[in-house]
Amino acid sequence: MSKKFVPVMITPFTPEAELDFDMLKKLVDFYLAAGVKGLFANCLSSEMYSIKSDERIALTKAVVDHVNGRVPVVATGSFGLTIEDKADFTKRIFDTGIEAVVLITGHYAGVEESENVMMKGLEKMMSLTGNIPLGLYECPVPYKRVISAEALKALVSTGRMTYHKDTCCNVAQVQAKLDAIRGSDLQFFDAHTPNAVTSMKAGAAGMSAIAGNFYPEVMVWLCNNIDNPDKQEEVAWLQAELIKADVIVHTAYPMSAKFFLQMRGLPIHAISRAHAMEPTPKEKAGLETLRNMMQSWCEKLDIKQAEYENVL
């Protein structure tokens, strides 16, 4: 059974650093041409902390409208000073037509507070948001609040949680969480590319890694072939290659992703509100190396590249 690749979407900006809705449509089509099975809008890769509340709504609605039901879309919704504010925003963003509203675990307890505080906050959030399907996101900002297997199991038992984006980057913790939710409807997506094979073979629904903003079709190939008995040697080889590439992918991100997509022919502006610095000559050389690596992967594995011309 193939797994799902769900990119964490980047946000295109105009040269004036306004939302670029025309490029957003092209970007959505590019992801879809690569074969993704869903989209995560208004996330950290989308620079969600650098855009205004109304922009978060407009961005998410534009994605939902252009996708037009072709794949599910989720988006972060836990914005506001109080839990009541977060609940109000959750209702607003759910009204854009997304499948589930994803809540950032670090928004429900301070960095020094216990997991019990987080659980109480999430319970209150659920009580204020009717029957809206929810998800969890161990976002690294404002700080990474990794949820325990026990807490995840308790939240899943409420019937409200349908999605989880995991960033613990720890094989043992991922295994414990997957064991805790086995048999439930929760879709578990790992964000950590180096763990991709291990996590999916342990039962994760798929991957949701920033590598999808560089070479989504390669990540899709991995998800599609993870359990293919005829491709296990290639799967192991690609995992090793992706681990080598991971340092480059994380350098100067998300600006690096926009430069990389430019190299791939997409007319996206290298504009970011969250990361103003242009990649250095050394970082650009790293992106050239990454492009060459990607070309070799696609040739070896016979992966059709999602070219910009194919998504006009």
Residuewise pLDDT in 10s, the chain (312 residues): 679 999 999 999 999 999 999 999 999 999 999 999 999 999 999 999 999 999 999 999 999 999 999 999 999 999 999 999 999 999 999 999 999 999 999 999 999 999 999 999 999 999 999 999 999 999 999 999 999 999 999 999 999 999 999 999 999 999 999 999 999 999 999 999 999 999 999 999 999 999 999 999 999 999 999 999 999 999 999 999 999 999 999 999 999 999 999 999 999 999 999 877 788 999 999 999 999 999 999 999 999 999 765 544
Distance CA 212, CA 214 (A): 5
pTM surpassing 0.75? Answer: yes
AA identity, residue 225: N
In angstroms, rounded to a whole number, what is the distance separating the alpha carbons of residues 66 and 243? 33
Helix (H) or strand (E) holding 310: none
Whether the Cβ atoms of residue 134 and residue 106 lie closer than 8 Å to each other: no
**Structural domains of the chain in order of their starting residue, each with its CATH number:** 4-311 (3.20.20.70)
Question: How many other C-beta atoms lie within 10 A of the C-beta of residue 63?
Answer: 26
* Widest Cα–Cα separation across the chain: 52
At 40, list the tokens. 């995560």
Cα 58 to its chain centre, rounded Å, is: 19
